[in-house]
């Protein structure tokens, strides 16, 4: 199979063709030619789209799919189509299924379900058995079967010694430990950011301190043990500052932030729309500005959609009892492009996540394997339910003005266009 991408603007700082508009010829999954103009052959599949841009394929490091156990929310097969049409050639799948992904057989199940898909799947194994936070799971066995990191999705490790032991143990096989930043005792029964909006609306608040005290603890433990720690989806100014200081000390710590925590604030609580109920919660404009600054100065390494489909029965209920989570892959790029340039987006959704999670990356150059995202950065539109490809429709971005359009991907010798 030969595919020709016509007049594609290349966004790849590692490529000699960065910011240049070229024709790209892909033969049997490998880039065979890049030049100003390539003659069309009848046997070619030609992609000639308005203002076509290509970058190295995007990698979403926090994706929840329902299968196994919650197939009504999303199946793996359909979720991979969502990823492809949203521009992601690789996704890391969280272990929050039933059963929890806490052993090698379940890791292999996820990988096998994605066989022959254009999107590569990388399971995140649970750090503790059944994600209960009591006993450490079979980390080494899971890594040998394909798990790329270990963490209990949206569940903090409350036992300090357990996290200490995990950080020490994982060094034996260069494992990456993830620790969700939330102190449950301080957060209590909070359902939204503790602040003016929650107070006005009578909602129980989750203070910034609940996140920051956990981040501080984790960094103290990391300094003691060594090893590699990834702190997913931070949401406050102080968290970013603590991680910035830890990096300056030379600690091997990385972190991510969810798209919605970078672009939206807790002002959206008015209206009690359960789609805006996420974990961590939307914070204030001050926090959002600090997170944006953290992305720009390199403190925050990764931007994730934190895609989490929730069925209507768990969202169309009273705000305080609705489940946390939003679908996010479909809106990730177009929401980010309202605040960041293309190089920043590609760095935080492709280059950095692959480096941190140990995924090989190919530049856009001749004789390189083609792993590409296709998109158009121009144009504005209002995101609606019609833009949601996921089975579940719980998007936090419905009704928001977003920028650009994702066309699809080329990966694993397959072209997927919306």
The pLDDT of residue 388 is: 97
202 in a structural domain: yes
Q: What is the pLDDT of residues 16-54, one digit of tens each?
A: 999 999 999 999 999 999 999 999 998 999 999 999 999
Instruction: Say if residues 57 and 90 touch (Cβ distance below 8 Å).
Output: yes
3-state helix, strand, coil split of the chain in percent (to 5) is 35, 25, 40
**In contact, 200 and 172? CB cutoff 8 Å:** no
Same domain assignment for residues 190 and 312: yes
Question: Are residue 139 and residue 198 in the same domain, yes or no?
Answer: yes
Catalytic residue chosen out of the listed positions 289, 306, 314, 367 = 306
Active site residue 306: yes
The whole-number average pLDDT for the span 300-317 is 97
Contact 153, 131 (CB under 8 A): yes
In a domain, 244, yes or no: yes
Which residues lie below 8 Å from residue 380, measured CB to CB, with a gap of 6+?
A: 401, 402, 403
Of the candidates 84, 79, 21, 71, the residue with the CA atom closest to the CA atom of residue 50: 21
Query: Do residue 246 and residue 391 come from a single domain?
Result: no
Mean pLDDT of 142-154: 98
SS (H, E, C) 169-204: HHHHHCCEEECCCCCHHHHCCCCEECCHHHHHHCCC
Average pLDDT, the chain: 97
Q: Are residues 313 and 371 in the same domain?
A: no
Residue 40 structural domain: 2-53+366-417
| Size of the chain, expressed as the number of residues it contains | 418
- pLDDT confidence of 69, banded at 50, 70, 90? very high
The token duo for 190 is 């909070």
* Residues 199, 272 within the same domain: yes
Tally of structural domains, the chain: 2
Give, in order, the Cα–Cα distances in Å from 363 to each of 13, 30, 87, 213, 368.
9, 11, 17, 39, 7
pLDDT above 70 covers a percentage of the chain that reads 100
Q: Is the pLDDT of residue 1 over 90?
A: no
Pair (393, 253) in one structural domain: no
| Residue 65 shares a structural domain with residue 21 | no
Report yes or no: 381 and 391 within 8 Å, Cβ to Cβ. no
What are the tens digits of pLDDT across the range 72-101?
Answer: 999 999 999 999 999 999 999 999 999 999
- Does some domain include residue 361? no
Domain boundary among 308, 325, 356: 356
Q: Rounded mean pLDDT of 346-354?
A: 98
Alpha-carbon torsion (115, 145, 170, 183), positive or negative: positive
Per residue in 151-196, pLDDT tens? 999 999 999 999 999 999 999 999 999 999 999 999 999 999 999 9
CATH assignment at residue 154: 3.20.20.140
User: Across residues 56-61, what is the average pLDDT?
Assistant: 98
> CA 335 to CA 292: how far, in whole Å?
13
If asked whether residues 24 and 156 sit together in one domain, one would say: no
How confident is the model over 211-240, as a mean pLDDT? 98
- For 351-378, write each residue's pLDDT tens digit: 999 999 999 989 999 999 999 999 999 9
Residue 407 maps to which CATH number? 2.30.40.10
**328 and 313 housed in the same domain:** yes
Beta bridge partners of 93: 63, 123
Over residues 232-272, the pLDDT tens digits come to 999 999 999 999 999 999 999 999 999 999 999 999 999 99
Clarify whether residues 268 and 289 are in a common domain. Answer: yes
């Amino acid at each position: 199979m030969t595919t020709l991408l016509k007049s594609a603007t290349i966004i790849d700082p590692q490529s000699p063709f960065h910011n240049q508009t070229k024709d790209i010829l892909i033969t049997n999954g490998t880039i065979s030619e890049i030049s100003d103009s390539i003659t069309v052959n009848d046997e070619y599949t030609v992609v000639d789209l308005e203002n076509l841009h290509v970058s190295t394929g995007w990698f979403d490091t926090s994706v929840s799919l329902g299968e196994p156990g919650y197939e009504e929310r999303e199946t793996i097969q359909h979720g991979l189509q969502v990823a492809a049409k949203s521009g992601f050639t690789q996704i890391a799948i969280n272990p929050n299924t039933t059963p929890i992904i806490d052993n090698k057989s379940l890791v292999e199940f996820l990988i096998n379900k994605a066989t022959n898909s254009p999107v590569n799947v990388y399971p995140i194994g649970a750090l503790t058995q059944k994600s209960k936070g009591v006993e450490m799971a079979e980390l080494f066995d899971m890594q040998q079967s394909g798990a790329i990191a270990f963490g209990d999705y949206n569940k903090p490790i409350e036992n300090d010694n357990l996290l200490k032991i995990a950080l020490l143990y994982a060094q034996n096989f260069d494992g990456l430990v993830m620790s969700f930043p939330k102190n449950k005792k301080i957060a209590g029964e909070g359902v939204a950011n503790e602040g003016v909006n929650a107070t006005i609306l009578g909602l129980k608040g989750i203070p910034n301190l609940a996140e920051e005290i956990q981040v501080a603890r984790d960094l103290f433990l990391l300094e003691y043990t060594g090893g590699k720690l990834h702190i997913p989806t931070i949401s406050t100014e102080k968290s970013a500052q603590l991680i910035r200081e830890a990096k300056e000390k030379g600690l091997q710590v990385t972190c991510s932030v969810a798209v919605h925590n970078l672009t939206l604030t807790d002002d959206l609580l008015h209206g009690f729309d359960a789609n805006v109920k996420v974990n961590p919660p939307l914070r204030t404009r001050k926090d959002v500005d600090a997170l944006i600054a953290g992305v720009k100065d390199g403190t925050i390494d990764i931007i994730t959609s934190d895609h989490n489909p929730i069925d209507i029965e768990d969202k169309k209920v009273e705000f305080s009892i609705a489940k946390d989570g939003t679908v996010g892959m479909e809106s990730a790029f177009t929401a980010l492009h309202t605040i960041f340039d293309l190089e920043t987006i590609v760095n935080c959704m492709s280059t950095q996540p692959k480096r941190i999670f140990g995924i090989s990356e190919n530049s856009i150059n001749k004789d390189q394997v083609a792993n590409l995202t296709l998109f158009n950065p121009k144009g504005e539109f209002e995101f609606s339910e019609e833009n949601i490809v996921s089975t579940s429709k719980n998007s936090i971005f419905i009704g928001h003005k977003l920028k650009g359009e994702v066309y699809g991907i080329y990966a694993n010798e397959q072209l997927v266009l919306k």
